[in-house]
Amino acid sequence: MKTKRFLSMLLCAALALTLLPVTTAHAADTWDGAVATSFAGGDGSEDNPYQIASGAQLAYLAQQVNGGTSYASAYFVLTDDVNLNNIAWVPIGSSNTNPFAGSLDGGGHSVTGLNVNVMDRAGLFGYTASSSTIKNLSVSGTVTASYNFAGGVVAVNWPGSVIENCTFEGTVTSSDEFAGGITGSNLGTVENCAFEGSVEARSNAGGITSINDGTVRDCRSAGSVTSVQSYAGGIAGFNSNLNALCILQDCYNTADISGPISGGVVRDSYNGVTVNCYNAGSVTGNELSGGVVGLNEYSTVQNCYNAGSISAPVSGGVVGKNYGYFSIIENCYNAGSVTGSTDSGGVAGLNEFSATIRNCYWYGSDGNGIGNFTDGTKSGIGRFSDAGGALTATDGTSLNYGDDLLAALRARISDQAEPSDYLDWTALDGVNSGFPVFAVSAAPSASIDYAAEKLTSLDAGARYIIGGAALTAASGGTVDIDSAWMGTTVDIARRSGIGYSYPQSLPIPPRPPVPQGVTAVQSAAPGGTGGLSGVSSLMEYSADGTTWTPCADGGVSGLAPGTYSVRYKATSSTFASDAAQATVHAVYALSYNLNGGTASNPSSYCAPDLPLTLNNPANPGYAFAGWSGDGITGRAMTVSIPIGSSGDRE
């Protein structure tokens, strides 16, 4: 037998080069230290604000304000990003006699390369007047005051002034007092602002502001905040106003806080309110520390929680020291570790001078919620030991709202005599170790695209917790469905500000099983095509697992040799099933020259036939002398085609 030679063809795939348009990022204007002689345009009205498009024009604004032009009631807008190139910057409004009194809209642009090193009132802006607004601006760089008052955006934010939707990333340092990530001192309003970096002062440092004498709302801080000799707070160092309530609301801190007296949100609150806030950073002090507030004097801490580790000689999971007749800690909990002396507790370290603690809870296996209760009022103090939140009454009190942590927190809110600013609570797998977090918006309304295997109807670019995993929705508002979710109910919650939405509980059906009875139909002749049997129009097949073709009820024909995946198609309520595999094998020709003899041997073969041993031919009056041919040495009395063989044979 001779083996027919055949030519192996190399099929070359032509690669099509597609030229895509290249988008070049717009470079920020880089300042060279020059000062412009005018703005880029505008007349300063609200409808036609002065336009600032370069570092030179921003320097012109600083020159004009510091020269005595306050721009009261004037409007400005940044029309481009600005790089100040680390050239020494003189703050806009460098003294209290020449403050900036206008309104500047950053338009979502950034000022980078800020380098301020002055004696005091250090920041992109120094002083702002009571009518000013600075909003929609991102700033990064280094701000240093060799004496006091340093802020990433504004050194001193005057009463009636507003800083809104601004960020600062970098380093803020005051060699003496009052350093804040956004503003050194806030007497007005700071809203929806964020800091990331390091803040340090000898005394009084805060992630957003060193002193809050007004309102700080919807702000967040990350990085580190350090006071060498005195106050350090994640959001504010000092929250105090003797004439009116100062407010810290809906804020959170993840920065690590260090100072002699320190607090995760605020170090010292005097005649202030801290509500709907939380801390997740470590808080360390060599005198006194609190997870939310270090020292709470004649102030209220409501609806807050701590998840960071707290350490100081006097330390409390929520408040280090609660002091004064009007001081109240209410509807708060601590899930972080607390390390200190006997004047330390899961909720508060000290409670003195007729202060009140009620309906507060703490994580631990033993001990008290209040380290040293000198006098005052306490009620509804409870301990929990895991994320399940089963409460046990402590500190000689009885639970007022049942023995479940989440239910108790929510019950207190709904028990208010009048509507309050309290945020509601929820609990989510994968968030805050399963302990309660703030619920700030309605549940999502995600749906399932079964064919694409995606969750849809989400907000593009938004962050979600889905099935305990942190995920970001794609530009089309979709998230790929994890196969592990199939056959379960997943909770879907959107990250929003200080908390999350209420969860949507979405049942996700299991993937249907593999089709049964699917087989390949082999070609009847060499070079022919095969097919699939046992299929229906409910199924589809694929040669590469990517492109799928519908099956017909009578079967599939005309298939080239290869392995095919066959599955049930996705429907409006089911995913595509797992796939069965069926292989259509190539069929090769067998031809013989038996020299007058006869033998019962096949005229073709394919892989399932192997190994194949040929029957020797017979011819009356002759004796079979053996096979011969290419690949056979001499004469062989037995010839087999082994497994793995391919190609026609002769």
pLDDT (mean) for 488-492: 98
φ/ψ (deg, to 5) at 432? 55, 40
Q: What is the pLDDT of residue 29?
A: 86
Q: Confidence band (pLDDT; 50, 70, 90) for 414?
A: confident
Q: Confidence band (pLDDT; 50, 70, 90) for 309?
A: very high
> pLDDT tens digit string along 516-535?
999 999 998 998 999 999 99
> pLDDT tens digit string along 533-542?
999 999 999 9
Per cent of the chain over pLDDT 90 is 86
Q: Confidence band (pLDDT; 50, 70, 90) for 8?
A: very low
pLDDT (mean) for 289-318: 98
Rounded distance between C-alpha atoms, residue 431 and residue 567, angstroms = 37
Domains defined along the chain, listed by start:
40-188 (no CATH), 272-424 (no CATH), 438-508 (no CATH), 519-584 (2.60.40), 589-650 (no CATH)
pLDDT (mean) for 62-78: 97
Contact (Cβ atoms closer than 8 angstroms) between residue 643 and residue 1: no
pLDDT (mean) for 592-611: 91
The single-letter code of the amino acid at 72 is: A
Per the listing, tokens 């302990």 go with: 435
Q: What is the pLDDT of residue 421?
A: 80
| Nearest Cα residue to 224 out of 215, 214, 232 | 232
Overall pTM > 0.95: no
Q: Confidence band (pLDDT; 50, 70, 90) for 27?
A: low
Upper half-sphere CA count for residue 72 (Cβ side, 13 Å): 6
Contact (Cβ atoms closer than 8 angstroms) between residue 128 and residue 157: yes
Token couple for 618: 């017979």
Contact (Cβ atoms closer than 8 angstroms) between residue 559 and residue 528: no
Per the listing, tokens 């956004």 go with: 182
Q: Which stretches of 579-637 are assigned E, i.e. beta strand? A: 580-584, 588-589, 604-605, 612-613
Q: How many CB atoms lie within 10 A of CB 569?
A: 18
Rounded distance between C-alpha atoms, residue 161 and residue 2, angstroms = 98
